Structure 1
Amino acid sequence: MHTILPFILVMVLVIVILTIWANKLKIAYPILLVLAGLAISFIPGLPLIKIDPDLIFFIFLPPLLFEAAWSVSFKEMRKWWRIIGSFAFLVVFFTALLVALFTNQIIPGFSIALGFVLGGIVSPPDAVSTGAIIKFVKVPKSTAAILEGESLLNDASSLIIFRFALVAVGTGQFVIQEAAVDFLWMLFGGVSIGLLVGFIFIWIHKHLSTDAPSDIALTLVEPYFMYWIAEQFHCSGVLAVVTGGLFMSARRLKYLSSSSRIKGYSVWESFVFLLNGAVFLIIGLDLPEIVSGIRAHGTPLKVAIGYGVLVTAILIIARIISAYAGMFATIIFRRQIAHQAQFRKRRWFLPIILGWTGMRGVVSLAAALAIPLTLPNGEAFPHRNLILFITFVAILLTLVIQGLTLPYIIRRVKPFQGLEDQEEIERNTRQKMKVGLRNHVYNFVKEKYAEEYKGHAGMEKILKHWEDQSKVQDSSWMDETSRKILLEIFEEQRQYLSLLNKEEEYDEDIIRQQIQQIDLEEERLKYV
């Protein structure tokens, strides 16, 4: 404990410093963290870092997926479900297939089953890296929604491929009927368990006398329960967490108080930041162990690097091809979108952008480390160290090369020139929503309370507040009656915004921001 604690404290300090530096340089912090871990690993005398795959799969993955499910816009996911579904499942399988075919041809002794093991590992892009990179460039909400939605689901599909490929390597056979049944069980079982556990936790939040600290504590353990229970039933733990997270996120107003939402947001933001930082730093620190494994295997380092570069090129090309295939499918089958002026302007450049956002990261590392050391018959798992090394090269190259060049490509190619018009539309929508919200609340208060509390000082100030949107500086008017009415007004606002969220005209992120402002106003009442 006395030896590991200083290491953890130094790691947190390094993560914070490098993230601050990355923000100043305007580059994604995962790039700096991986490079820093790589540099630190060359310091003489440092012990080799041995990573338990269960540590990443169970400790890191569930909360990262759960937080992503809470942050994504479900409305946008529903709107773009076709392309999200194709990238999350079809493109992942296509990528894994290409990797399997090419590695089978170029790596001596590398079977198709081993190729699918590697393909399942490196096929899913990393959501954290992509999100950190596009933060520094302007992209349309539709593109961001596609990338976010894809990242929620592609981990599940790639890990399913990985599991089936491991079985094929271990047994030497692949029974399509059994695989189909297992696939359906993993898919629907994971979704069902996620929904069931999410429903149970919502009931706990609603019916137990929870406060903000206990609510936040429950949200921290919920993804672990979803993942663990699904894995016990041999379902997809990833799908369980994603489904449960989306289910609970859509109902957050019904079972979490304003205090729980505000404080929970801050806790989760810091928690996920540290988890992401630790994982990317560990990726760099793990290099010496991977290199030593390659040398023990007898594969020359230059040859192994060449394999890694080739596989990385396959990943990039497969994603760009898939993006163009998706564009042509849209032109053929979704003509109402293809004929839009905004789509026509960027139709030839958008697939390049989507194809260049395939940075690899956390899931690929965890899956590679999860390869067993031996087969069921006791023999060493073939090419395990080489697969680990190729995975590391793919993570490093996609993070550094694609991560550093993506913002430059977007600025150079300018595929989103119509984005200023979209921003103007969003500003107008935001203003329209605020005006409608103000008028709705003013009429609600006037009709329900104007006669009942006529002459009441607090009531008059409340009406004036909503009539001219001014801020009352003194708090002498605030009594229990005024406080009760204001709390009811805040709840009425949230209900009104929830109804607006069902209309296509209003962006879900804008509505969430407005609800957060209402929550802050409600919190402010506690100190008035």
Structure 2
Amino acid sequence: MAEIFTFYLALVIAIVFTVMLAKKLRVAYPILLVIAGLLISVIPEIHRIKINPELIFIIFLPPLLYEAAFQVSWKELWKLRRIVTSFAFIIVFLNAIVVAFIANTYIPGFSLAAGFVLGGIVSPPDAVSAGAILKYVKVPKNYSTILEGESLFNDASSLIILRFAMISVATGQFIWQQAALSFCWMVVGGVGMGLAIAVVFLKIHKNFPTDVNMDVILSLITPYVMYITAEEVHSSGVLSVVSGGLYLSVRRHEFLKTPESRLKGFNVWESFTFLINGIVFLIIGLDLPEITEGLKNEGTKISTAIGYGLLVTAILIILRFVASYAAVLVTLIMRNFIAVADPNPDRKSPLLFGWTGMRGVVSLAAALSIPVALDNGLPFPHRDLILFITFVVILVTLILQGLTLPALIKWLNIPVQTTYHLSEKEAALLLQNGIKNTALSYLNKEIRDDNDKKKYIKNILARWQKEKYEESILGLSDDGKDVYFATIEKQRSWLRLENQNNPLIDEEFIRRHLHKLDLEEERLRVE
């Protein structure tokens, strides 16, 4: 037991140092983590990680999906809903269908149902990989929103395909009527369950006397409750977590009531998801020996399996390029009939979107979740080959596309600033003036006969004129601090309202100002 604990502790240390090295080399950390896992796996007598396939989704997916949904901007997502849903659903289904027929045609003994299992697994691109790479380069906000939104919903669509495909493998038949009804229930039930649980947790936060620790712990529990509850009623746990996360994201200031809860919750979640991502990408590399051993037992040569993996990878890359150019073509046609978010899409964008199809966490989790045996006791057909092909797809797309994507973005030289958002400087000026006017208006209405009024307003003005924080709050009485906190709350309300009403403001800028107000209030409270 002590040896296992030491091994896992060593893995965490390896993750930290690998990410530090990735930052120094300015390389996306998922790429180096996979390579590190491969290097560790070849060490003789290394302890092999075995994960219960039934638990893989419950352990990793709920918090990763919830954190992604909580951080994405619903305003931007809704604005780009047509192209996001196209990438998240239509393209995923197209990938799964083509991969299924290719596998059925070129891999001996591979049934069409098994092909759909493989297609469902390798269809969704990984947002973590793309997000880690995009940190080192700048792209227009609408591009990153499309990638983030796609990753939220393509996981659900691919896992729905996987579920039906595995049923077909187990039963040997596929009944379209039952599948259609089950699909509708998975979507409607998953979304409904996620929203219902989100409302319950929101009521708990608002109506019960929770403290900071309770708020943070409840936020950690929430995605697991959403996922497990939805799965228990045979709906989509993924859609439950995504829909619930988006609902609470819009109401984050009701869900986490105090600045301290929001600040500590942000830090806890950032560390938690970083660790989970690190473990999963490291496992991708560490799992290779077990996958290759199973491949030998199946009687398939490794060189042959690599060929199958490269074939599937090439098909996925080609399909994504085709879909990206088709999306631009459809936009150019449809702008003549309906309003679209981007009526004049950049002709360079299909190259970028076509090359951002790195696979990762979800594909690995889905592959590992395949049961070793069917309900009748027979081995799941081609399980080890499916695992190996998935591994090849993840490895090739991460290394090939991941390492070259920054160079491609620089070569394309896509303008970061678009006409659909104010520049950062323009947004900062608008928001600064807005929160200043909001505070002054509140002070003039609420503080009429206060002796500290002049001094207080002077201090507030000094704060907005970017003088030192310590100098701006000198001399504030306890009553003055209470007024100051009330003023900050008015500013928060104005920022949230401006975010709803002004489509030209990037929500990321709003969140930065809200974060600054939380820091400012919390700092004054602890002094």
Whether TM exceeds 0.5 here: the answer is yes
Q: Which AA in structure 2 matches 1:333?
A: M
Residues 452-506 of structure 1 deviation map (CA, whole Å, 9 limit, x = unaligned) = 2145575344454467454463565222210110111011000000110112021
The answer for the alignment partner of 2:270 in structure 1 is: 269
Whole-Å separation in 2 of the counterparts to 1:412 and 1:238: 36
Q: Does the CA-based 8 Å contact 1:35-1:284 persist in structure 2?
A: yes
TM-score by length of 2: 0.95
Displacement of 1:119 in angstroms is 0.1
Q: Which AA in structure 2 matches 1:184?
A: C
Counterparts in 2 of 1:412 and 1:469: CA distance versus 1, 3 Å: closer
Does residue 452 of structure 2 align to residue 452 of structure 1? no
The answer for the alignment partner of 1:324 in structure 2 is: 325
Whole-Å separation in 2 of the counterparts to 1:27 and 1:126: 16
Q: Does the CA-based 8 Å contact 2:31-2:398 persist in structure 1?
A: yes
User: Tell me, what secondary structure is at the counterpart of 2:371?
Assistant: coil
The answer for the alignment partner of 1:254 in structure 2 is: 254
Counterparts in 2 of 1:376 and 1:476: CA distance versus 1, 3 Å: closer
Displacement of 1:408 in angstroms is 1.0
Q: Does the CA-based 8 Å contact 2:335-2:343 persist in structure 1?
A: no
Displacement of 1:424 in angstroms is 7.2
Whole-Å separation in 1 of the counterparts to 2:453 and 2:432: 27
Q: Which AA in structure 2 matches 1:103?
A: A
Counterparts in 2 of 1:468 and 1:398: CA distance versus 1, 3 Å: closer
Pairing of 1:270-289 with structure 2 (within 5 A): 270-289=271-290
Q: Does the CA-based 8 Å contact 2:140-2:418 persist in structure 1?
A: no
Q: Does the CA-based 8 Å contact 1:34-1:284 persist in structure 2?
A: yes
Whole-Å separation in 2 of the counterparts to 1:279 and 1:456: 56
Q: Which AA in structure 1 matches 2:246?
A: L
Displacement of 1:289 in angstroms is 0.4
Whole-Å separation in 2 of the counterparts to 1:11 and 1:47: 11
Q: Does the CA-based 8 Å contact 1:193-1:230 persist in structure 2?
A: yes
Does residue 103 of structure 2 align to residue 106 of structure 1? no
Q: Which AA in structure 1 matches 2:386?
A: I
Q: Which AA in structure 2 matches 1:501?
A: N
Counterparts in 2 of 1:435 and 1:241: CA distance versus 1, 3 Å: same
Q: Does the CA-based 8 Å contact 1:461-1:472 persist in structure 2?
A: no
The answer for the alignment partner of 1:435 in structure 2 is: 433
Whole-Å separation in 2 of the counterparts to 1:126 and 1:12: 22
Identity %: 51
User: Tell me, what secondary structure is at the counterpart of 2:470?
Assistant: coil
Counterparts in 2 of 1:310 and 1:501: CA distance versus 1, 3 Å: same
The answer for the alignment partner of 1:298 in structure 2 is: 299
Whole-Å separation in 2 of the counterparts to 1:12 and 1:129: 19
The answer for the alignment partner of 1:490 in structure 2 is: 488
Counterparts in 2 of 1:295 and 1:492: CA distance versus 1, 3 Å: same
Q: Which AA in structure 1 matches 2:397?
A: T
Paired residues in the alignment total 522
The answer for the alignment partner of 2:366 in structure 1 is: 367
Q: Does the CA-based 8 Å contact 1:331-1:338 persist in structure 2?
A: no
Displacement of 1:212 in angstroms is 1.2
Whole-Å separation in 1 of the counterparts to 2:87 and 2:469: 51
Q: Which AA in structure 1 matches 2:369?
A: A
The answer for the alignment partner of 1:72 in structure 2 is: 72
Q: Does the CA-based 8 Å contact 2:138-2:416 persist in structure 1?
A: no
The answer for the alignment partner of 1:381 in structure 2 is: 380
Structure 1 stretch displaced more, 287-296 or 360-369: 360-369
Whole-Å separation in 2 of the counterparts to 1:110 and 1:311: 14
Displacement of 1:370 in angstroms is 1.5
Displacement of 1:392 in angstroms is 0.5
Counterparts in 2 of 1:338 and 1:77: CA distance versus 1, 3 Å: closer
The answer for the alignment partner of 1:88 in structure 2 is: 88
Whole-Å separation in 1 of the counterparts to 2:117 and 2:245: 28
The answer for the alignment partner of 2:393 in structure 1 is: 394
Pairing of 1:301-316 with structure 2 (within 5 A): 301-316=302-317
Counterparts in 2 of 1:169 and 1:437: CA distance versus 1, 3 Å: same
The answer for the alignment partner of 2:508 in structure 1 is: 509
Counterparts in 2 of 1:370 and 1:327: CA distance versus 1, 3 Å: same
Pairing of 1:2-401 with structure 2 (within 5 A): 2-256=2-256, 257-335=258-336, 343=345, 346-347=346-347, 349-401=348-400
Counterparts in 2 of 1:36 and 1:487: CA distance versus 1, 3 Å: same
The answer for the alignment partner of 1:406 in structure 2 is: 405
Whole-Å separation in 2 of the counterparts to 1:367 and 1:394: 13
Residues 400-454 of structure 1 deviation map (CA, whole Å, 9 limit, x = unaligned) = 101001111111222x1364888972321221121122122112212321x2214
Q: Which AA in structure 2 matches 1:209?
A: P
Displacement of 1:362 in angstroms is 1.2
Counterparts in 2 of 1:455 and 1:520: CA distance versus 1, 3 Å: closer
Counterparts in 2 of 1:109 and 1:374: CA distance versus 1, 3 Å: same
The answer for the alignment partner of 2:498 in structure 1 is: 500
Residues 321-363 of structure 1 deviation map (CA, whole Å, 9 limit, x = unaligned) = 111111111000025669866x3xx32x211211111111111
Q: Which AA in structure 1 matches 2:377?
A: G
Counterparts in 2 of 1:422 and 1:14: CA distance versus 1, 3 Å: farther
Displacement of 1:58 in angstroms is 0.7
Residues 286-345 of structure 1 deviation map (CA, whole Å, 9 limit, x = unaligned) = 00000001111111111000000000111111111111111111000025669866x3xx
Counterparts in 2 of 1:43 and 1:161: CA distance versus 1, 3 Å: same
Q: Does the CA-based 8 Å contact 2:57-2:365 persist in structure 1?
A: yes
Q: Does the CA-based 8 Å contact 2:170-2:374 persist in structure 1?
A: yes
Q: Which AA in structure 1 matches 2:281?
A: F
Whole-Å separation in 1 of the counterparts to 2:167 and 2:311: 26
Q: Which AA in structure 2 matches 1:274?
A: L
Counterparts in 2 of 1:434 and 1:393: CA distance versus 1, 3 Å: same
Q: Which AA in structure 2 matches 1:11?
A: L
Whole-Å separation in 1 of the counterparts to 2:431 and 2:343: 25
Q: Does the CA-based 8 Å contact 1:129-1:399 persist in structure 2?
A: yes
TM-score by length of 1: 0.95
Whole-Å separation in 1 of the counterparts to 2:90 and 2:184: 16
Q: Which AA in structure 2 matches 1:513?
A: R
Q: Which AA in structure 2 matches 1:381?
A: F
Whole-Å separation in 2 of the counterparts to 1:338 and 1:422: 9
Q: Does the CA-based 8 Å contact 1:442-1:466 persist in structure 2?
A: no
User: Tell me, what secondary structure is at the counterpart of 2:54?
Assistant: helix
Displacement of 1:258 in angstroms is 0.8
Q: Which consecutive unaligned segments of at least 5 residues does structure 2 have?
A: none
User: Tell me, what secondary structure is at the counterpart of 1:368?
Assistant: helix
Counterparts in 2 of 1:500 and 1:365: CA distance versus 1, 3 Å: same
Counterparts in 2 of 1:445 and 1:368: CA distance versus 1, 3 Å: same
Whole-Å separation in 2 of the counterparts to 1:195 and 1:420: 34
Counterparts in 2 of 1:56 and 1:372: CA distance versus 1, 3 Å: closer
Q: Which consecutive unaligned segments of at least 5 residues does structure 1 have?
A: none
Q: Which AA in structure 2 matches 1:489?
A: T
Structure 1 stretch displaced more, 250-259 or 328-337: 328-337
